[in-house]
A and B are shown apart, each in its own frame.
Chain A
Amino acid sequence: MDPDRDSTVVTVHVAKLEKMVRIRLDYSRQSRTIRYIRITGDFFMHPEDSIDGLEEGLLGTELERDALRQRISSALAGTRCFGFDAESLTGAILDAGGDAP
């Protein structure tokens, strides 16, 4: 990682309910807020385009459990997910942040 950049990108894999969820995360190390997030995997979401609102809704969110869970729960209101839930996704994003060097 470039020490001069106030940013880090990490990828974590979360296996839950036999589905794979990958998180690609770019966040500010200084403010610990999310600059970019991509959630990919073989999971299901209905409706499918909820993923866009989820990823957009997480931009600027602090890498802190309550803030993440609240933002995710809000973004997923009315969405059916198979393969992850708000709690496991929160944990995965925190893992991604925590695993950063």
Chain B
Amino acid sequence: MAVDECLLYRYGAAGDTVLRLYGWSRPCITIGYFQGVREEVNLERCEHSQVDVVRRITGGGAVFHDMEVTYSLVTKRFHSDIMASYRSICDMVVLGLGHMGLDASFSPLNDVTVNGKKVCGNAQTRKGGALLQHGTILLDVDVEKMFSLLNVPTAKIRDKAIAGVKERVAGIGRTFEQTVDALKRGAQDAFGCGLDTMSLSGKDIAECRRIMAARYSQRSWTHKR
């Protein structure tokens, strides 16, 4: 999350468009900016399972990050209309999935579906005149594990909730590498541009560390609501 925020301010706000594609060294939960952490997450179980929990600067729901490709995109060139901006950036995902033979479509406000099932969720924020959109492309889904870490109102609802998610959400059944490659091609198709590979500079890394220390590693941030 600190890297995404660093890219937003250091690159997006400066006029550069950057696409970051990444995975997770171990499972993690992120919650939306407006969510109550205790309402959404079983913190005791997360601690026991060594699953970190962190609040995003973007809205939306809690996400269990595990078997997925995560992307973030920062840019100063975006539609002022929020729905249109989601659509144009999600086109990258739709076209990328198409390169893997998947018939994907944008599902407003912020999802991408394949065969009617959600395979990608997205969230965005706009700060300093730039936009950050990040999202996850699910490779596989362990719904039982996810619900062991997220709160559902009652045990009675748990089975129904699990069944509902299994019905509505799916992984794309491709590898991390295949998906990263396809997303790069999707980005070139969607934005009509080439891609240069970049690495974070020493200053970038220092800024990421500063942001992490000031915000994401602070209990007061994650427990803000």
Residues in chain A within 8 A of chain B (CB atoms): 17, 20, 22, 24, 38-48, 51, 80, 82
Contact = CB atoms under 8 A, between A and B. Distances in A.
Interface of B: 32-36, 39, 57-62, 82, 109-110, 123, 125-127, 225
Given A48-B57, A48-B59, A80-B82, A43 B125 contact: no
A52 B109 CA distance: 24
Given A38-B225, A40-B39, A42-B60, A51 B126 contact: no
Nearest to B36: A40
Given A22-B39, A41-B34, A41-B35, A47 B126 contact: yes
B82 A45 contact: no
Contacts of A44: 34, 58-60, 82, 109-110, 123
Contact of A46 (B32, B35, B62, B126): B126
A82 B86 CA distance: 13
B82 A46 contact: yes
Contact of B34 (A17, A24, A40): A40
Given A44-B109, A48-B59, A82-B109, A38 B36 contact: yes
A42 B58 CA distance: 10
A24 B36 CA distance: 11
Given A44-B58, A48-B33, 14 more contacts: A24-B36, A38-B225, A40-B35, A40-B36, A41-B32, A42-B60, A42-B62, A46-B125, A47-B126, A48-B57, A48-B58, A51-B34, A80-B82, A82-B109
